[in-house]
Structure 1
Amino acid sequence: MEYARKEYLEKLIAGMGSDQVKIITGIRRCGKSYLLNTIFKRYLLDSGIPRERIIEMDFDGYRSKEYRDPKVFLDFIDKAITDSDRYYILLDEVQLLGSFTEVLNELIHMGNVDVYATGSNARLLSKDIVTEFRGRGDEIAMRPLSFSEFMEGYEGDKRDGYTEYAMYGGLPAVAMRKDMKRKTDYLSNVFNETYIADIIERNGVQYSSDLEQLVNVLCSNISGLTNPTKIANTFKSSAHCTISRQTVEKYLSYLEDSFLFEKAVRYDVKGRRYIGADAKYYAIDTGLRNARMNFRQFEETHLLENIIYNELRGRGYGVDVGVVPAQRKDADGKWRRATYEIDFVCNSGSERCYIQSALALPDREKLQQEQTSLMKVDDSFRKVIITKEGFEPHYNENGILMMNVYDFLLDRNALKL
C-alpha cells in the first residue's frame, strides 16, 4: 500500500524551476523521506528527467556521515555536476549537514540546480527559512495522514475508519499495519525512543523526567486551556515536583519545535487582539498522544476537537481559540459581563470562519449552548458546528452551517458550502 500524498507532491511540482530551496518540514515518520525520495523522484523520472541528473543524499544514513562535512559534500556536488543542464538535488534530513543554510544558499547560486530537502527539527521552522535563506526558502509543512488520505488504504466504512484513525492516528507506518498490537507497539516505541530521545539529545535536557512529565500533562489535557504557570502548579500538586514557569516555557518550546504539539492562543474576536497567557495544545497525531497515555484516556470529545484542529491546520488555516465578550442576563434579571468561547477561529488570507466542535447535540438545550457563542459574533463570516454524528450539511434557522465530522474530513471544500 502506498499513500499518494498528492497535495504535497503538487506543491513540490509547483516549485520546480524556481530559485527557492524547497524544504519539506514535519514530525519524524510522517513520510517526508518517502515523499521526496520515492514519490517525487518517480515523478521526475516519469517526466523524462535522466536518472544521472538526479543527485540524492541521505544525511541520516551511516554511509553518508562523511558528507555531513560541508566541504566534502560540496566537492561531491561539484564532481556530480558535469555540464550546464539542470540537475535536481534531493537532500534528506538536511539539518545534519554542517552549516546547512550556507551550503544550500551556495547551491542555489549555482544557477542550474533545483534543490529539495527534508528536515525534522526546530532549525527548519518557518521563521528560520525566511531569515536564514534570505527569502529563497520555500517551506512545505508536511503532517501525518489526513483522514481522507487514511481512508485511501482503509478497508471498511468511514465510521469504522474514523474510530481507528482517532485511536491510532495517521503515521503512514502505523496505518499500513493491520494488527492492532503491532500498531500500539510501534507508536509506544517511536514516541519514547525517537521523539523524546531526540528532544533530550538535541536540547541537552538534563532532567528528562520533568520533560516527560510535561508531555504527560499535555497529553492528558489536549484541547483544554492552560498556561506555563498552571502547568508548574500541576507539577507541585500532583507530581510533588518543583519546576519553574521559565523551565516549563522552555520545555514547551522544545515540544513545539519537534512538531509533537501545536499551540492555539486565545483571540478576542470583538477586540481583535490576542489576550492572556492561556492557550490550548493539540497533539500533531492522536495515535502518538494515545500511546503516551497507554491507550487509557480515550475521551471522544477531546479527540474529536484535536482531529478537527489538525485537519484545519493541514488545509492551511491559521487557528486560534476564540473569546467573545458580551452581556448576559443572570437569574436575578441583571445584566452582567460574560465571556463566550469559540473552539476555533480560522483564517486563511481574507477567508475566516468560526467553528464549534460538539460530539453530539442530543437536545435543543445542547444545541443552544453550542451556537450561542457563534451568534454573539457580529460579523458575516461563516459559522459552523461540527458533530460526530447526526447532520448532513445544511444551514439551520440561525444561518449556522451544521455538518458531521465525516463530511468535513472527507471534503476539503466542506466549509465553503
Structure 2
Amino acid sequence: MEYKREIYVDRLNARKRNGLVKVITGLRRSGKSYLLNNLFHRSLVESGVDERHIIKFAFDSAEDLEIIGEDLLDLERKNSKVDPRKFLEFVRDRLIDDGQYYILLDEVQNLESFESVLNSYLRKDNLDIYATGSNSKFLSSDILTEFEARGDEVHVFPLSFSEFFSEYDGTKEEAYEEYSLYGGLPLVANMRTEEQKAKYLESLIGKTYVRDIIRHNGLRSDTDMSDLLDVVSSAISSIISPRKLESAFKSMKGSQISRPTIERYTDFFADSFLVSKAMRFDIKGKKYISAPFKLYFEDIGLRNAKLGFRQIEPTHVMENIIYNELRFRGFDVDVGVVKSKQAASDSASVGGYEVDFVANKGSKRYYIQSAYDIPNDEKWRQETMSLDRIGDSFEKIVVVRNPVVSRHSDKGYLLMNIFDFLLGKGL
C-alpha cells in the first residue's frame, strides 16, 4: 500500500524555487527517499513539469553510479565518495535549454564535497535543488554549518496515526493498539505479521541506529550507550536528570559514565532523530529551564523494540504519541512548568506544577495535558491543577484515552478523546 504523505508533498511544493537547497531529513526508514523520488516527483509531473526537466540521481544506486562511470562496490570497498566532476558532467549534459529544472538527489552525503556542489547550483536561477541524506552522516545540526543558512530543512517523521489509519484495514481501536505497539515506520506498517514487525524493529534498533551513532561520533564502545538508551526508553514522559542518571549507573552497574558523557550521549540520540528532547519552559517567567528535560521517541515502535516489547505502559506511550502528533503538525513543543512556592503537594512537582505540553506555532499556543483516564472529579482536579494556575487566555486541552464526547468544562478547558485529537484537523 502507498501512504500519500500529503503534508510533506505540500511542504515541498510550498518551497519550490525559493532559492535554497531543500534538505529532507529524518529518522532512517521514515520514507524520505520515497517522498522525494516518487510522491514529490509525481506531484511535479502532475503540475505540468516536463519529465526532461526533472533530474534524479541516487548516490547509493549501482545503476545510477554506473551511468557516470562509478562502481558502488568499489566505492564501498575503498570507503570512497563519488567524484563531483563526474556528477557535474552528468547534470550539465541534461540541461538542454534555459527552462526551469528540478534536481532530486538521494543520499547526497555520498558525493565528495556535496556542500560546495549544491551551493554552486544555487547561483543558477533555473535550478531548484532537493536532497535527502542518511541520518548517520547528514544530521540536522550539520546542515546549518554545511549550507551556511542556504539550506531549508523539511523534517520527515514516521507515519502519524492519521496517515497510518488511512490505509488500515480495521477499526480505530485496533489501529491504535497496533500503532502503539509497532509505531509508524512505513515499511513496518506494510508488513503482514506481528512477528515480522517485531523482528525487524529489534534488528533496526539493535544493529542499525546505535551503530550509526557510534560511527558518526567516533565512539569505541556501545555498552554504556546501549544501557543509557534502555534507561531513556523506560523513561519516556518522565523527567530525565543527567546528574541522577550518573549516580544510578554508578550504584547499579558500577559504571564510571559521567554526567557530561550522559548529556553528550542524549544529544547524540537527538541528533540522529531517534529521540526528541523536550525542554522545560517556565510559563509565567517566560524562560527555559536548562535541566532536567524529557525525551520522546520519534517512533514508538523502536522504543518498544529496545525494551523487547516489555514495559508497554499505555499512559506513557499515549503521551509520546501526542508529542509526536504535535511535532508532525509543525508545533514547537516544550514541557510547561508553572512555578509555585507551595510545597510539593496536590500532585505538584517540586518547585511547580507541570503542564505536559506547551505547543507553539506562530501566534498560536496550546496547553495540553495527556490523561489516560479520568474516572472521577478528583482525578479531573489533579489533571487540571496546573492549567488553573497559568492565567492566560490560550486554549487548554485535556486528552484522554477513553471514548468521551469532546466538550468544554465550566472553566473552558477542552476535554477530548485521543481519536478526536489524532484524527481531527484542528489546532
Q: Deviations over 1:291-313 (max 9, x none)?
A: 11110111001001000000011
Distance in 1 of aligned mates of 2:415 and 2:244: 35
Check if 1:345 corresponds to 2:358.
yes
Partner of 2:108: 94
Question: TM (normalized to structure 1)?
Answer: 0.93
Equivalent runs, 1:29-178 vs 2, <5 Å: 29-63=29-63, 64=65, 65=72, 68-121=82-135, 124-126=138-140, 128-178=142-192
After TM superposition, give the deviation of residue 233 of structure 1 in Å.
1.9
Partner of 1:192: 206
- Find 2:368's aligned residue among 331, 355, 374: 355
After TM superposition, give the deviation of residue 41 of structure 1 in Å.
1.3
The runs of 5 or more residues in structure 1 that have no matched partner are: 332-336
Secondary structure of the equivalent of 1:282? Answer: strand
> Structure 1 residues 403-412 or 50-59, which shifts more?
50-59
Check if 1:382 corresponds to 2:395.
yes
Partner of 1:13: 13
- Find 1:204's aligned residue among 213, 218, 237: 218
Secondary structure of the equivalent of 1:49? Answer: coil
Instruction: Count the aligned residue pairs.
Output: 409
The runs of 5 or more residues in structure 2 that have no matched partner are: 66-71, 76-80
Distance in 2 of aligned mates of 1:60 and 1:227: 40
Check if 1:297 corresponds to 2:311.
yes
After TM superposition, give the deviation of residue 338 of structure 1 in Å.
5.1
Secondary structure of the equivalent of 1:88? Answer: strand
Secondary structure of the equivalent of 2:359? Answer: strand
- Find 1:229's aligned residue among 243, 246, 251: 243
Question: TM (normalized to structure 2)?
Answer: 0.91
Q: 1:344 to 1:186 in 2, by over 3 A?
A: same
Distance in 1 of aligned mates of 2:425 and 2:284: 28
Q: 1:110 to 1:276 in 2, by over 3 A?
A: closer
Contact (CA 8 Å) 1:326, 1:376: kept in 2 or not?
Answer: no
Contact (CA 8 Å) 1:30, 1:172: kept in 2 or not?
Answer: yes
Partner of 1:391: 404
Secondary structure of the equivalent of 2:55? Answer: strand
Distance in 2 of aligned mates of 1:121 and 1:152: 27
After TM superposition, give the deviation of residue 125 of structure 1 in Å.
4.8
- Find 2:324's aligned residue among 294, 301, 310: 310
Partner of 2:416: 403
After TM superposition, give the deviation of residue 365 of structure 1 in Å.
0.8
Q: 1:348 to 1:124 in 2, by over 3 A?
A: farther
AA at the equivalent of 2:42: R
Partner of 2:26: 26
Distance in 1 of aligned mates of 2:365 and 2:46: 39
Distance in 1 of aligned mates of 2:82 and 2:51: 23
Distance in 1 of aligned mates of 2:246 and 2:82: 40
After TM superposition, give the deviation of residue 191 of structure 1 in Å.
1.5
After TM superposition, give the deviation of residue 339 of structure 1 in Å.
1.5
After TM superposition, give the deviation of residue 190 of structure 1 in Å.
1.5
Distance in 1 of aligned mates of 2:144 and 2:273: 18
Percent of matched pairs sharing the same residue: 48
Distance in 1 of aligned mates of 2:230 and 2:201: 15
AA at the equivalent of 2:394: F
Q: 1:189 to 1:329 in 2, by over 3 A?
A: closer
RMSD of aligned C-alpha atoms?
A: 1.9
> Structure 1 residues 37-46 or 217-226, which shifts more?
37-46
Contact (CA 8 Å) 1:122, 1:257: kept in 2 or not?
Answer: no
Distance in 1 of aligned mates of 2:402 and 2:282: 30
Q: Deviations over 1:314-355 (max 9, x none)?
A: 111111111112354899xxxxx9521111111111111111
Q: Deviations over 1:250-273 (max 9, x none)?
A: 211211111000001111111111
Q: 1:364 to 1:46 in 2, by over 3 A?
A: same
Partner of 1:369: 382
Q: 1:41 to 1:338 in 2, by over 3 A?
A: closer
Check if 1:269 corresponds to 2:299.
no
AA at the equivalent of 1:87: Y
> Structure 1 residues 309-318 or 39-48, which shifts more?
39-48
Secondary structure of the equivalent of 2:280? Answer: strand
Distance in 2 of aligned mates of 1:95 and 1:44: 24
